[in-house]
Structure 1
Amino acid sequence: MLRHLCRLALWLLGSSAALADVQRCHASRVQASVVSSCQAQHHETLPEIDPSTQILLLNFNLLSNISASSFPRLERLRKLSLGCQLGGSLSIGEKAFEKVANITFLDLGGNRKLSLQPTALAGLQQLEVLLLDANGLDETVLEGGYFQDLVSLKRLDLTGNQIKRLRPDSSFQGLKLLAFLQLRLNRIKTICGEDLTHLGGRHLSLLDLSSNLLSYRDPWYNHSCPSPFRNITVETLDVSSNPWDVGSAERFFKVMAGAQVWHLKLQHSGAIGRGFGFNNLQGLSASTFSGLSRSRVLSFDMSHGFLSKLGPLVFSGLPELRALRLASNQIHEICGEAFAGLQHLWTLDLSHNLLGELNTKTLQSLSSSPLLHLNLKSNHIGAIQHNALEGLRTLRMLNLQDNALSRMLSGRLPALERLLLGQNRIKDTWGIGKLSTNLTFLDLSSNRMQDLRGLWNELRGIPALQFLNLSDNLISRCSERQDRAIPKRSQLRVLDLSQNSLNIIWNAGGCVDVFHHLDRLTALNLSRNNLQTLPEGLFQGLVSLQALDLSGNLMAMLPDGLFQDLRSLQPQQHNIGLVHTTRSGRCKLPCIDLAVEMSSFKFGSPQRAMILIFLMPATVFYLLLTCRTEQASVLNFPPPLPPLSTLWSPHTFLLLLAWVGLQAALYMLPMGKVTEGIVLRDKSRLQYRINAFHAMGVTALVVGAGLAAGLRLSYIYDHFLQLAFSALLLAFGLSFLLYFKSLFAPETTLAPGGNSGNPIYDFFMGHELNPRIGSFDLKYFCELRPGLLGWALVNMAMLVKETELRGSPSLAMLLVNAFQLLYVVDALWNEEAILTTMDIVHDGFGFMLTFGDLAWVPFIYSLQAYFLVNHPQKLSLPMAAGILLLNGLGYCIFRSANSQKNTFRRNPNDPRVTGLKTIPTATGRRLLVSGWWGFVRHPNYLGDLIMALAWSLPCGLGYCIFRSANSQKNTFRRNPNDPRVTGLKTIPTATGRRLLVSGWWGFVRHPNYLGDLIMALAWSLPCGLTHVLPYFYVFYFTVLLIHREARDEHQCLRKYGLAWQEYCQRVPYRIFPYLY
C-alpha cells in the first residue's frame, strides 16, 4: 500500500509538467551510470531512448503493451523499471525483452492487471532481480515455466498477488542462484509434501510467507502432509501475521520436521496464547515447538503477540537457540522450567510485558545457559527476590529500565558489564559493589536517590566503572565524610548529574571534593541543577575534562580561576546557557563569554555538514548547466553532467592558479596601511595589511594590458564550466591542507565554531580560526581577493561575450555589471570592516569558507550576467530607473548601517556616533539602539537583501541602506565621538562598551543585511520576471542571512547578556521592519 501511495504522489507531481509540453526522457549520470528518466510523462509507447542508457525508468506512464519491437537495441542497459503503469493493464508479449537481454534488474510491480506471455521473459539470462509485486497474478506464474531462462536470478518478489498455492514448477531447478523468495500478502493456505520439490538442494536466504492464510487447522494435516522442506535450507523463514492458533502452529512445525531453518519469525500472531485475563484460547506447551527439534533454529522472534504464561519446557523443541525475542506480549507468569533445554541461549528479550516480580524460580532454568544479554525493560517489576539472578554467571548486559524497583539488586553477577536501571524508584545503591566488580556502564537516571556522598561510597566498590548516569534524581544532600572515597585511579570517563538539586549541596558547602579524584573524566553534565554559582576548587583534579555542560542553570557569572586546573577543555556540542531570574519571575538568558568557549554544531550535525560538502558543488553545476539550457527552468530534470574529460582542463586550472597567485603577490606588496584585528581568545591581536583596493587597481591595469595585447576575455565564458571545476578542485585541495595543518596548531588558535572533535564537521567549518603562513593570513586573503575580484572579472567577461554575440551590451547587462561592481568596490574600499565580521572573528577557515570564497562567489554571484548571455532580456528605461532606485536604497541601508556599527565598535566616542543610543552589556560593551540599529536588529542584512533583489531585477535603495548602516556601525566602532555618529543613541554594557540603538541600528537589528537583500533583488531584476533561475541568489542570500542573523543573535546574547535583551525589546525587528 505504501509503495502505491508513494508512486501515486510522484505521478501527481510529474503530471503537471507532462501536460505542459512534449515530454522527453531526461538523461543524467548517477554514480558513473547513465540514467534516462521517462517517469510520469504520459507515454503510451516507448519514447526515444539514448543508446548509452544503463538505467531506464518508465514508471507511471500509460504503456499497455510491451513487445519485442518496443525497445531499440540497448546493449548497455542494465536496469529497467516499468512499474505502476496507469492505463489499467499491461501486457508483456513473447520475448519482449530480447533487445535488452543484458539487464540485471527488472521492475514490473504495481501494474494491478499484468498479463505475461509464457516466453515474455525469455533470453534474460543476466537478470538477478525481478519484481512482480502487486500485479494480480495467481499461482500460474509459479507453475507456467515463465522463469526458465532466468539462470542468474537471485531475488523474486511476488508480494501482494493472488497466489493460493506454492508449487514452483520444474523450471525452478535451473534457478541455482535464487536466494530471496518473497510471497508476502498472498492467499497461500498450505505447503505440503511435494510442493517445494523443485527447490530441493537450494539455500534460501529468505522465504517470506508472512500475511498469508497459513493455518493447518484440520488435524489430518498432521498425518497426510509430509514435510515440503526436505533438502532445503532456509536462513530466515517469516510466517508472521498468519491466522495461527497454538494447535495449527504446532501442526505446521511438525510438517517442517527436519527442515533446516536458522532464523524463524512468528510475529503478530494474535491467536497464539491466551492473552492476559482470558482462558478461551490454548497456551504454549512443551509440544508446541517439538517439530523443530532437528531444524537447528538459531533465533526465534515471537514478539508482538498475546503470550501470557510460559509453561514448563515450552521452548525445549529449540535446543540450538541462540536468541529468543518475546517482546511486546502480555507475559505475566514464567514457570520455573520455562527455558529448560536452551543450553546455548545468548540473548533473551522479555521487554514490554507484564512481569511484576522475579523470584528464584523465574530464571532458574537459564542457569545452565551461556546467557549474555537479558532485556526486561518496560515491565512492572517491583521486586526481585534475593539471589533471583544468582545463576546467570555469564550475563554481561542486564536492562531493567522503566520498571518499579525501589531497591538495588542483590546477589552476584560476576561477568556483568552493563546495568541499566533508569526510570525506577531506587533510593540508594547499597550493595551494588557486591553485584559485580566488572561494571563499566551504569544507568541510574530517573530514580529517587538523594545522598551524593552515599552514592560515592558505594561506587568505590566498582573500580572498572567508566560511564555513570545519575540524571533526573533527587540528589540534594551530602552525608558526612566517611573513610571510604572514590579510588585515586578511578576509570570514570562520563558522568551525568543533570536535573538534580546540586545547588542545595554546594550552597551548604558540602561535597566540594566530589570530583577531586576523577582524573580520567572527559565529559561532565551539570545542567539544570538550579546552580547560581560554583564553589572554588570544584573541578580540582579534572585534568582530562573535554566536555562540560552547565546549561539551564541560574548563574550570572562564574568565579575567577574556575578552570585553572584543567589541562584540556575542548568545545563539544553543549552550550553553557546561563539563566538569570528577576524578582518579577521573568527569565532572561544572558550568556557568559568564558575564556574557553563551548561550541555547538551550528549547521545541525556532522551528517548535515557531510551533505553540504557534496550539495554545494552539486548546486553550482546544477545552476550553471541549467542556465545553459534553452528553457533555463529549475523545475525541469537536471541536465546531464558533461564527462569528466571535458570538465578537467590543465590549461584552465593553471590559469586559475595564476589568478590566485597574482592576488597573493599583490596582497604581500608593502602598500596600504597595517591595522590590528580584534582581541583574540589568547588576548593577542593579529596584524592585517589593508590594500585590497590597491590590489583592485593593479589588477585592472594588468587586465587592461592583457586586453591591449589581444587577450580574449570571452575565454572565461567559453570555459566557464572548466573554470568552475578547477575552482572546486582548488577549494577541496586547500581545505584538506588547512585541516591537516590545524591538527598541529596550538589550542588557543582553534576556532570556537569548528572545534567539535568530529573530523567531518571540523573539516567543513574550519578547525583553525586564522591559519597563517608567516604573516600571510590565508582566510583574510581568500575572503576578499581571488573570489570577489574574480566575480567582477567574470561579469566583465560576460559583458564582452554578449557584445561579441549581439554587437553591443544590453541595458540589463550594463546594470548588472554596474551594480555588482559597486558592491565589489565598496567591499574593497571598506576592507577594514571585515575584521569585525563573524567570518573572521568566529568561524574557522574550512571547506565552508574556502569553497564559498573560491568557487561560490565568482560562479554563483555572477549567475545573472551568465544568464543574460544565454537569455537576453529587453529592459525599458522606466524599469531600469526603478531598479536603480531599489539598488540605491539597498546600498544606502547596507553601507550606513555597517559604518555605524564599525565606527562604534572601534571607538564609541567617535563624533559620528556619540549621539546614538546604546545599551550596556555584561561584558562592558554597549549595544546600538538608534540609527539603523534602532530600526531593526540587522539593518546591514536588510540592505543586503534589498540589493540582492535589485541585482536580479537591477540596483539603488539597497545600496543606500547597506552603506549607511555599515558606515554607522564602522564609524561608531572606530570612534564613538566621530561627528557622523555623535547624534546616535547607545546603551551602555557591563564591559564598558555601548550598543547603538538609533540611526539604522535603532530601525532594525541588522540594517546592513536589509541593504544587502535589497541590492540582491536589484541584481536579479534586469533578468526579467519570466525565469526563476536568476533569482536564485536572492533566495539563497535570504536563507544565508537569516541563518547568519540567528548566529549573530546567539553570539550577541553570549557577549552582551542582559543588555542584548534590552536592545531586542527596544529594536524588535531583526531585518525586515514590521515583518521579521
Structure 2
Amino acid sequence: MSQPTTSEEGTTTTVITATTHLTLPAHPVPLSYDQLNPKSKPVEFFGPIGTAGISVIAPLFTYIFFYTCNDAVGCTPTTVSGWKYAWETVGYFPSEAGYLWEWKSFAVYLAWYAYCIACWKFLPGDKVQGNLLRDGTRKPYKMNGFNTLLLTLGLSLGVLLNPGGIQLFTWLHDHWVPLVSSSLVMATFQALWVYGYSYYNKELLSLGGNSGNFFYDFFMGRPLNPHPPFFSSFDIKTFNEVRPGMILWLILNISCACEQYVRLGTITDSMWVVILFEGWYTADCLIQEHTILNQMDITTDGFGYMLSMGDLTWVPFTYGLQARYLAFNPVTMGPIWASVVVAILLAGNYIFRAANNEKGNFRAGKNPKKLEFMTTERGTKLLTSGWWGRSRHPNYFGDWLMALGWCLPTGFKTPLTYYYIIYFVILLVHRQMRDDEACRKKYGKDWDKYCEIVPWKIIPYVY
C-alpha cells in the first residue's frame, strides 16, 4: 500500500507499506505417545544381564563394606580365619549395628523420608522451571533443599547440646545395617512402583529405559519424571537426588563423630576434616540445587533402581565409610599432613565450583568472564575457554580431587577406605563416555570440531 505525503519544502514523498500474511495452523498436530516414547535398545551396562547383575552386586557391596570393616573384625581381614569370622558375623553380629533387619530401624527410616517430604512441602523455597522436555512442556520445581539441611542441622544441634545428646546421636551408627536394609526396601519399592505405574499413566518415558526388557528397564528407569498420583509437582527423581540420601550422609557422619567422641573423649583432626569437608560438599550441592536440573541424571536418565538405590542407599551408607572407619580406628594426621589434605580438598572444591559456575552462568545467558565459545549448526553454544577450555569435564576433575581428600585422612592401613576414589574414577569415566556419545549424536561434525579445540576429557593435559 502506498500513500503520498507532502513535505514542508513542497516535495512529495511516497511511503510504501508492505503487508505479508502468513497462515499457521491454530493447533499444531501433537506427537503420539509412541512417537514421543520410541523403543530403546538395551545396550548400557552390557544389557539386561549386566543390569540384572549390578542390581544384585551393588546393594550387596553396601553390606560387604560393613561386615569387612567394623570394630569386631577390623577393616579388610587379612587372614583366612579373619575372613571366616567376618562371614560368620553376617546375621549374627554381636551388636545391633550389624543386624540384618530391625523393625524399629525401618520405622525410623520411614519417619526420616516422611520428614524430608514435609520439609519439601512446607518450607519456603524458590520456584524454578526445568529444562524443555521433548513433549514441549517444562516441569516446575521447588528448590528448598538447603532450607531442609539448615532445619535438620538445627534440630541435630538441639539434640547434641542436651545432656546425653551425644550418646543419643550414636543411635544411627549403632543401627547401621538395619538402616541400610530399610533404605533398600524403600529403593526397591520405588523402582518397582514407578516401573508399573508408567504403563498406567502414560507419562513421558526416558529414551534409554523403554526397551521392553524388565530387568533392563527396571534398572535404567522407564519413566523420566515419575510422580505420585494427584501430586504432579512432586518429582520423585529430583527429590531423591539431593535430599533424603545426601542429607542423611552428613547426619550419619555426625553420628560416627559422636561415636568416636564417646570412645575417646575427643574428636581427631582426621574426623574433623572428613565431616567438615563432606558436610560442605553436601551444603554446596543444596545451595546450588537448581544446577542438578542440567545433569544427565535429570535430563536424560529415567528413574529406576539405578537411581533409587544409588540415591537412597549407596550415597549415605557407602560415602560415609571413612567416618565410620575413623569412629573405631582413629587417625591423628598432625598439622603438616592435615594441611596437605586440606589443600587438596580446597583445590578440588575450587575447580568443581568454578567450572560449574562458568557453565551455569553461560547457560543462563550470562558471560561475566567473557569466555570464548563456538556456535554449532543447531544454534547451541559450546564453551571453549576458561575451565571448559581446559577439558570437556573439568568438574569431574574437581570431584576426583575431593574424593581423594576424603579418603586420605583414614591413613594407609587398609585399601577399603579408598574405595570411594576408585568408584568415582570408574563412575565418572563411564559418565564421560556416555556424555561424549550423546553429544556426538546431538552435534555431529560440530562435536568433532569441538574435541579438536578441547582435546582433554577430564584432567587437563593428562586425560
Note the 1:60-139 alignment, pairs <5 A: none
Give the secondary-structure state (helix, strand or coil) at the position aligned to 1:776.
Answer: coil
Partner residue in 2 for 1:727: 183
Q: 1:798 to 1:567 in 2, by over 3 A?
A: closer
Conserved in 1, the CA contact under 8 Å of 2:101 and 2:177?
no
- 2:210 maps to 1:755: yes
Q: Secondary structure at the match of 1:753?
A: coil
Q: Does 1:854 find its partner at 2:312?
A: yes
Offset at residue 601 of structure 1 (A): 2.1
Number of positions where the alignment pairs a residue of Structure 1 with one of Structure 2: 417
Letter of the structure 2 residue corresponding to residue 819 of structure 1: F
1:599-748 to structure 2, matched below 5 A, reads: 600-628=42-70, 629-633=72-76, 637=83, 639-640=86-87, 642-643=90-91, 646-669=99-122, 671-708=124-161, 710-711=164-165, 712-746=168-202
Query: Alignment partner of 1:754: what SS?
Result: coil
Structure 2 Cα separation of the partners of residues 566 and 715 of structure 1: 50
Backbone CA RMSD of aligned residues: 2.0
Alignment partner, residue 1017 of structure 1: 404
CA contact (8 A) 1:833 1:970 kept: yes
- Give the AA of the match of 2:45: F
Given the superposition, is the C-alpha separation of residues 630 and 1059 from structure 1 closer, same or farther in structure 2, using an over 3 Å criterion?
same
1:1019 maps to amino acid: W
C-alpha displacement of 1:568: 8.6
Which amino acid is 1:760 matched to? Answer: F
Call closer, same or farther: CA 1:857–1:565 in 2, change over 3 Å: closer
Given the superposition, is the C-alpha separation of residues 828 and 611 from structure 1 closer, same or farther in structure 2, using an over 3 Å criterion? same
Tell me the percent identity: 36
User: For structure 1, which segment, 737-746 or 962-971, has the greater mean C-alpha deviation from structure 2 after superposition?
Assistant: 737-746
Q: CA deviation at 1:567?
A: 6.9
- Which amino acid letter does the alignment assign opposite residue 1032 of structure 1? Y
Assess, with a 3 A threshold, how the Cα gap between structure 1 residues 1075 and 634 changes in structure 2: closer, same or farther: farther
Distance 1:564 1:766, change over 3 A: closer
1: CA distance, partners of 2:388 / 2:303: 29
| Partner Cα separation in structure 2 for residue 1073 and residue 696 of structure 1 | 34
Counterpart for residue 354 of structure 2: 964
Q: Secondary structure at the match of 1:752?
A: coil
Letter in 2 for 1:1059: D
User: Shift of the alpha carbon at 1:703?
Assistant: 2.0
Amino acid at match of 1:810: T
* TM-score, with length taken from structure 1: 0.38
3-state SS of paired residue (2:169): coil
Letter in 2 for 1:966: N
What amino acid does structure 2 have at the position aligned with 1:572?
S
Query: After superposition, what is the alpha-carbon deviation per residue over 1:692-736, rounded to whole angstroms, capped at 9, x for unaligned?
Result: 111111111222233345551101111111111111122112211
Q: Does 1:877 align with 2:335?
A: yes
Q: Does 1:1074 align with 2:461?
A: yes
- Supply the distance in 2 between the matched residues of 1:635 and 1:1041 (Cα, whole angstroms): 30
Q: Specify which structure has the higher proportion of strand.
A: 1
Please list the CA deviations of residues 749-768 of structure 1 after superposition, one character each: whole Å capped at 9, or x if unmatched.
Answer: 11111111101111111110
Aligned in 2, Cα 1:815/1:746: closer, same or farther, shift over 3 Å? Answer: same
1:48 matched residue in structure 2: none
The match for 2:372 is 985
Give CA deviations for 1:885-929 in whole Å, capped at 9, x if unaligned: 111111xxxxxxxxxxxxxxxxxxxxxxxxxxxxxxxxxxxxxxx
**1:641-675 Cα deviation digits (max 9, x unpaired):** 52289321111111111111111111112511101
**Does the 8 Å contact 1:647/1:725 carry over to 2?**
yes
User: Are 1:1031 and 2:428 matched, yes or no?
Assistant: no
Q: Which amino acid is the alignment partner of residue 642 of structure 1?
A: V
- Equivalence for 1:572: 40
**1:1039-1050 alignment to 2 at 5 Å?**
1039-1050=426-437
For 2:16, the equivalent position in structure 1 comes to none
Which structure 2 residues correspond to residues 763-778 of structure 1 after superposition, within 5 A? 763-773=218-228, 774=231, 775-778=233-236
* More deviation, 563-572/682-691: 563-572
Distance (Å, rounded) in 1 between the aligned partners of 2:258 and 2:202: 48
The answer on whether the counterparts of 1:634 and 1:1029 sit within 8 Å (CA) in structure 2 is: no
Summarize the alignment of residues 773-922 of structure 1 with structure 2, pairs less than 5 Å apart. Answer: 773=228, 774=231, 775-890=233-348
Closer, same or farther: CA 697–565 of 1 in aligned 2, 3 Å:
closer
Contact 1:707 1:713 in 2 (8 A): yes
Stretches of structure 1 that go unaligned for 5 or more consecutive residues are 1-560, 574-599, 891-958
Q: Which residue of structure 1 aligns with residue 24 of structure 2?
A: none
Counterpart for residue 342 of structure 1: none
The separation in 1 between residues aligned to 2:275 and 2:188, in whole angstroms, is 29
Of 944, 965, 975, the residue aligned with 2:365 is 975
CA offset digits 1:466-502 (Å, max 9, x no partner): xxxxxxxxxxxxxxxxxxxxxxxxxxxxxxxxxxxxx
Aligned-partner SS, 1:770 = coil
Distance 1:801 1:566 in 2: 55
* Higher helix fraction (1 or 2): 2
For residues 390-409 of structure 1, what are the structure 2 equivalents within 5 Å? Answer: none
Q: Which of these two proteins has the greater Rg computed from alpha carbons?
A: 1
Partner Cα separation in structure 2 for residue 566 and residue 851 of structure 1: 29
Distance 1:1025 1:752, change over 3 A: same
In the TM superposition, structure 1's runs of 4+ consecutive aligned residues that sit over 6 Å from their partners are 563-569
Alpha-carbon distance, 1:772 to partner: 1.2
Name the structure 2 match of 1:533: none
Q: When the two structures are superposed, what TM-score results if normalisation uses the length of structure 2?
A: 0.86
The answer to whether the 8 A contact 2:37-2:206 is kept is no
Give the letter for the 2:61 counterpart: T
**Alpha-carbon offset, residue 1073 of structure 1:** 2.3
SS at match of 2:44: coil
Give, in whole Å, the separation in 1 of the partners of 2:37 and 2:321: 44
**C-alpha distance after superposition, 1:971-1011 (max 9, x if no partner):** 111123x42x3x21000012222100000000011000000
- Counterpart CA distance in 2 for 1:635 and 1:769 is 45
The one-letter code sitting in structure 1 at the alignment partner of 2:139 is L
What per-residue deviation string (whole Å, max 9, x for no partner) do you get for residues 432-462 of structure 1? xxxxxxxxxxxxxxxxxxxxxxxxxxxxxxx
Equivalence map 1:288-327=2 (5 Å)? none
Listed as ranges, the gaps of 5+ residues in structure 2 are: 1-28
Conserved? CA contact 1:713–1:800, under 8 Å: yes
After superposition, the Cα gap between the structure-2 partners of 1:1063 and 1:567, relative to the gap in structure 1 and judged at 3 Å, is closer
Q: Is the 8 A contact 1:1006 1:1071 kept in 2?
A: yes
Matches within 5 A, 1:346-385: none
Contact 1:986 1:995 in 2 (8 A): yes
State the distance in 1 between where 2:113 and 2:33 align.
46
Shift of 1:1072: 1.8
Distance in 2, Cα, partners of 1:695 & 1:602: 35
- Give the distance between the partners of 1:568 and 1:722, measured in 2 at CA: 42
Q: What is the rounded CA distance, in whole Å, between the counterparts of 1:616 and 1:850 in structure 2?
A: 12
Alpha-carbon distance in structure 2 between the residues aligned to 1:1048 and 1:572: 17
Task: Name the counterpart of 2:18.
Answer: none
1:23-62 → structure 2 map (5 Å cutoff):
none
Distance 1:569 1:818 in 2: 44
Q: Do the aligned partners of 1:627 and 1:870 also contact (CA within 8 Å) in 2?
A: no
Is 1:1005 matched with 2:392? yes
Residue 1055 of structure 1 deviates from its aligned partner by 1.9
**Secondary structure, in 3 states, of the residue corresponding to 1:987?**
strand
* Distance in 2 (alpha carbons) for counterparts of 1:703 and 1:882: 31
Q: Read off the aligned partner of 1:855 and give its amino acid letter.
A: T
